[in-house]
Structure 1
Amino acid sequence: MLNSSELSLFNGKVLVLTGQAGNGKSHLLGDFVQKSQSSGKYALLLLGQDFTEKSNVWSQIFKQLNLNNTTPDVFLSALNSIGEMQKERVILAIDALNEGEGKSLWNNQLNGLIELVSQYSNIGLVISVRDSYQEIILNQLTTKNKEKLCYVHHTGFMDNEFEAIQIFFPYYGLQLPSVPLLNPEFSNPLYLKLFCESLRFQGETCVPRGHKGLNNIIKFYLDGVEKHICKQIEQDIGLNLVQRAINVIAKLQLEENKFSLDYITAKRGCEMN
């Protein structure tokens, strides 16, 4: 039996994938699109971080897809025809609306995008947004467009933490703990990944004491990166090159009010400090 969410999507609703930071929304969409393409189906994934302007959503979409001299109607008509031929809707997924210039862009452009794509019955629109930005991103939608949305909440590894550890630990060369780790943080895939990578960077093969807390994990991770890089470039670890670079980049981002920096700006800032 199809549940209510599946029935809504079957009837042409727009899928909105929500969840906390690091819960695996991007990986889920990427995996779905990759499997669709591997099976011979047509699917597209656009990244929110690459929407770097506050307007002109379609020109940014075409830029990501390396398409020139086309229009939204021509593009969507082509996708619609492909969906009709493959007897399955073409998925057009836009991941992480909260990234890049998303908070400004989608407030102005999402209504038009949903209305236009909804005219093509063989295209399925999928968008993802972090829980903490959901209200900001979606609050300008019209009542009509809000009725087109079907929400699916991604909970990461919740209630499957033990199974996730059994997969992650061997992959990173870590010994499985003799006593199950019951940390609720392990329900977050990004946290578990950082946890395992931090241990590997430090040359650990088992979980040490005092590993709890995201701040400790990030510090442990950065310490490992610091050790790894300093060994490669033959520099004294006491110079704290990685932490100093992070501080410079964070300062520049705050000063310029940007979520990302181009390589030249970041490199120049680190060299001056």
Structure 2
Amino acid sequence: MVIEFLTTKLTGAIANQLGKYAGSNIFEKFKLKRKLKKIRSFRREYDDTQIDSYAFQEFLNADKTQFLIFDYLFSSKFDSTSKQDMVKNLSLMAKEHINDIYTSKGRDHFSNEIILEDYFNFILDELIIFRDKELNGSQKSIVASIQNSIMESNSDLKYYIDNKYNDIKNYSLAKHLTEERIDELLERSIESLGSRYNPRANVDTISKKIFKSLLFEDDVKVFFRENNNSLVKNLNQFLSMLGKVENKKFEEFNKKTNFIKSLNNNKKIIINFDSFKAEMYLKTNIVLLAKAYEELINHLQDFSFFSKKIEEYKSNRNIKKNVEELLDIIESLDGYLYELEPQLINNPYLVISGEGGIGKSHLLADIAEEKRRQGHIVFLFLGQHFTTQQQPFQQMFTFLEYKGDSDNFLSEINARANRTNKKALIFIDAMNEGEGKYFWKSYIVDFIAKVKKYPNIALVLSNRTNFMKSIFPTDFFQGNQVTVYEHTGFSDLTLEGLSPFLDYYNVNPLIVPTLRSECRNPLF
């Protein structure tokens, strides 16, 4: 298989502009035009059936790709960009283009970045040799100037090149944050928690469930799809059974309550709820869904009470069983919706509040480790990392040994998360500790606003209840689409749920009722 990088169109465009360029004599222009003809194509054979030659070739010969490569070769703004960084970014871009085509054709995703990096290394090596061997300083300047004028006259091309330049810059600044380095940083933060986190005494509290919404996990989507489908199926069966029994009193009941009409109307709302689309969890849609569940429960309970008085329904076990099943499904859906905090799906910004020692740090560390194992980018910052009253991102970057600014960092993390289709998570535990209690109130609005610009990043903060007013300005939660959730420790758990904690500390469950404080507050 031959992969070919054709530059005919690009070099032709540059050559055509030479006649209009006033910066050199005719002889110089003629020599440069001849030299440009030498780099019209690069061919390379590859014995690899995994790569689709058409898809890769299409990316290579796109105007935007070629202008980006030539911009790297001739523009001064790329002077600080290493060839290795350029190769890596071109490979990522090519892989994304190939996989867009593969997805449209129902093919498995292409993952062999090595073959792409090998080809781009070859191309850039050849072009760099040509540039440095064949062109003098004046000729390089002419090519750079002409290419720049072409881009300035094409706003879409300029926008693309500028964006890709920023992407490459952001990658270069964060390339030391490898997967291994992110693991090391998380491990260091967790070790610093000391006794506040003990995975061997781990207990599943109700608070863990809200992280399913925060990351819009498949569990949420599948739960609603399967249970709503089951609900609709059972409603159809119920309506069919009702149609087979004639009873004047039911006709009066139906006329008075609009029973069947209401069932059908609410059924339509449930059918139209596509649980795999994030926009369905916006407030207006969720309120509509919750109201549908509530109305169905009320109507079915009314019918259940009514049917006990009517012999045809009282003796019909199928109808009675169907009503019971319907109520079980709806109550399960309604309860799940209540625990879900659905607003987090479209606004993944969460503040965990709670008393000191209630287990907030343990919860964040536990979720951080779990999500990291699942392939999410995870950063866990502790209150003790904030030792001055400087801007918070600066202090976070000191911990990360990162040299860029907040937009560079967030843009790169957002891009990585987008490529893996897994949200990145930034945790900040114990905002009230360290210097945080003195500076967060001045920075929090701007801090949240910066994170919100990047849709693939979720933010989780924790803070003691009695410090909420010290950290967050008045009315902060009314206008910033940030969810506050109170972590209540073990207060809602049964003895069975508490068993991992009790077993680890050798606590006899029989004396638990006399240890109310200890079992509500893990660090008591």
TM-score surpassing 0.5?
A: yes
Distance 1:74 1:121 in 2: 15
Cα distance change, pair 127–54 in 1 and its aligned pair in 2 (3 A)? same
Corresponding position: 1:182 with 2:514: yes
Residue 52 of structure 1, CA deviation: 0.9
Equivalent positions of 1:58-77 (< 5 A) are: 58-67=393-402, 69-77=403-411
Counterpart of 2:26 in structure 1 is none
Residue 32 of structure 1, CA deviation: 0.7
Counterpart of 1:159 in structure 2 is 492
Residue 62 of structure 1, CA deviation: 0.4
Distance 1:147 1:13 in 2: 11
Q: 2:355 aligns with which of 14, 20, 23?
A: 20
RMSD of aligned residue pairs (Cα, Å): 2.2
Counterpart of 1:237 in structure 2 is none
Residue 91 of structure 1, CA deviation: 1.0
Question: Where in structure 2 are there 5+ consecutive unaligned residues?
Answer: 1-332
Equivalent positions of 1:239-258 (< 5 A) are: none
Residue 108 of structure 1, CA deviation: 1.0
SS of the equivalent of 1:17 reads strand
Check conservation: 1:29, 1:93, Cα contact below 8 A: yes
Distance 2:399 2:419 in 1: 25
Cα distance change, pair 3–189 in 1 and its aligned pair in 2 (3 A)? same
Counterpart of 2:444 in structure 1 is 110
SS of the equivalent of 2:347 reads coil
Counterpart of 1:46 in structure 2 is 381
Give, as a single letter, the amino acid of the residue that structure 2 aligns with 1:116.
Answer: K
Corresponding position: 1:85 with 2:419: yes
Scaled by the length of structure 2, the TM-score of the pair is 0.34
Residue 101 of structure 1, CA deviation: 0.7
**Equivalenced residues, count:** 188
Corresponding position: 1:130 with 2:464: yes
Residue 4 of structure 1, CA deviation: 7.6
Counterpart of 1:35 in structure 2 is 370
Cα distance change, pair 143–30 in 1 and its aligned pair in 2 (3 A)? closer
Identity of aligned residues (%): 34
SS of the equivalent of 1:23 reads coil
CA-to-aligned-CA distance 1:28-75 (integer Å, 9 cap, x gap): 1111111111122211111112101112211101012222x2111110
Cα distance change, pair 182–12 in 1 and its aligned pair in 2 (3 A)? same
Give, as a single letter, the amino acid of the residue that structure 2 aligns with 1:137.
Answer: I
Distance 2:511 2:522 in 1: 20
- Counting helix residues as a fraction of each chain, which structure ranks higher? 2
Counterpart of 2:81 in structure 1 is none
Distance 2:489 2:473 in 1: 25
Residue 175 of structure 1, CA deviation: 5.7
Corresponding position: 1:149 with 2:482: yes
CA-to-aligned-CA distance 1:63-108 (integer Å, 9 cap, x gap): 12222x2111110001111221121221111111101011111011
SS of the equivalent of 2:410 reads helix
Scaled by the length of structure 1, the TM-score of the pair is 0.63
Give, as a single letter, the amino acid of the residue that structure 1 aligns with 2:427.
Answer: A
Check conservation: 1:97, 1:129, Cα contact below 8 A: yes
Cα distance change, pair 162–83 in 1 and its aligned pair in 2 (3 A)? same
Counterpart of 2:431 in structure 1 is 97
Cα distance change, pair 164–58 in 1 and its aligned pair in 2 (3 A)? same
SS of the equivalent of 1:190 reads coil
Cα distance change, pair 180–127 in 1 and its aligned pair in 2 (3 A)? closer
Check conservation: 2:351, 2:484, Cα contact below 8 A: yes
CA-to-aligned-CA distance 1:5-28 (integer Å, 9 cap, x gap): 532110124111111111111111
Residue 176 of structure 1, CA deviation: 1.8
Give, as a single letter, the amino acid of the residue that structure 2 aligns with 1:181.
Answer: P
Cα distance change, pair 40–177 in 1 and its aligned pair in 2 (3 A)? closer
Give, as a single letter, the amino acid of the residue that structure 1 aligns with 2:389.
Answer: K
CA-to-aligned-CA distance 1:180-228 (integer Å, 9 cap, x gap): 433320210112xxxxxxxxxxxxxxxxxxxxxxxxxxxxxxxxxxxxx
Check conservation: 1:110, 1:141, Cα contact below 8 A: no
Residue 160 of structure 1, CA deviation: 2.0
Larger Rg over CA atoms: 2
